[in-house]
């Protein structure tokens, strides 16, 4: 199963954006999102692409849902995945 991850847009560049995911910042491609993004907007990221903008009225509920998912997991799967991307030789479980 793949899970899109919400993040906050920090900077917008031509074709990409710098997005903050719980303190980890990553470049995300904007080819798929289909709308103009601005700093402060929240997006759902999937495989390095912003797939949609989270509407202003859904941001709180979306972030709260992810907090529940992460808490129930017992281990932070997003942090584990990001750590593995940054650590040489790390292999993720599939």
**Residue span of the structural domain in which 47 resides:** 5-86
* Residue 36: predicted pLDDT: 93
pTM: 0.74
- Is 91 inside a domain boundary? no
* Residue 33: predicted pLDDT: 93
Asked whether 78 and 5 are in contact (CB, 8 A), the reply is yes
pLDDT, one tens digit for every residue, the chain (94 residues): 567 889 999 999 999 999 998 888 999 999 999 899 999 999 999 889 999 999 999 999 988 888 787 777 666 666 666 666 656 666 655 4
- Is 92 inside a domain boundary? no
- Is 63 inside a domain boundary? yes
- CA angle 44/46/50 to nearest 5° reads 50
* Residue 72: predicted pLDDT: 74
* Residue 31: predicted pLDDT: 93
- Is 81 inside a domain boundary? yes
- Is 93 inside a domain boundary? no
Structure tokens at 28: 């995300």
* Residue 83: predicted pLDDT: 60
- Whichever domain contains 81, its CATH number is 2.30.30.140
Number of domains in the chain: 1
Asked whether 17 and 50 are in contact (CB, 8 A), the reply is yes
- Is 94 inside a domain boundary? no
- Is 54 inside a domain boundary? yes
Residue labelled with tokens 């709180």: 60
């Amino acid at each position: 199963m793949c899970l899109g991850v919400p993040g906050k847009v920090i900077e917008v560049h031509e074709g990409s954006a710098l997005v903050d995911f719980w303190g980890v910042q990553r470049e995300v491609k904007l080819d798929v999102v289909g709308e103009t993004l601005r700093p402060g907007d929240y997006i759902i990221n999937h495989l390095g692409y912003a797939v949609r903008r989270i509407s202003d009225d859904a941001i709180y509920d979306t972030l709260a849902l992810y907090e529940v998912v992460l808490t129930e997991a017992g281990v932070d799967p997003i942090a584990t995945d990001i750590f593995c991307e940054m650590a040489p030789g790390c292999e993720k479980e599939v």
